Amino acid sequence: MADISAYVNSLQGPVPETTIQGDVNAGKASYAVCVSCHGPNGEGNKDLNAPKLSGMQDWYIVRQLQYFKKGIRGSDPKDTYGMQMAPMAMTLPDDKAIENVATYISTFK
């Protein structure tokens, strides 16, 4: 069983299609806020319940960050982790900054 689990974990999914054209360097600077929870390569942190970002579609990252900024996500007091994420999304001043950070995250392998 352990061999099967190791094999499945070693499989690579499809490479996400790039749909957002942001500034990678600006996104890298903005990602500095994200590193402590999501890791330097977007690997995530199970102990913090911070999901893996590498391999996610760029459009999905943009949408979720917009939802956090609008209060659609992270506003329910029962959602402890979402409430921690919402102020982090607020550090991105506008949609361009969100697109930039999503573009940077899409460079993670």
Prediction pTM value? 0.83
For 53-90, letters b (16+ CB in 10 Å) and e give bbbbebbebbebbebbbeeebbeeeeeeebeebbebbe
Q: Which CATH class is domain 28-105?
A: mainly alpha
CB 107 within 8 A of CB 24: yes
Confidence check: pLDDT of 104 > 80: yes
Sorted by where each begins, the domain ranges of the chain are: 28-105
Average pLDDT over every residue of 84-102: 97
Interval 20-71: pLDDT, tens: 999 999 999 999 999 999 999 999 999 999 999 999 999 999 999 999 999 9
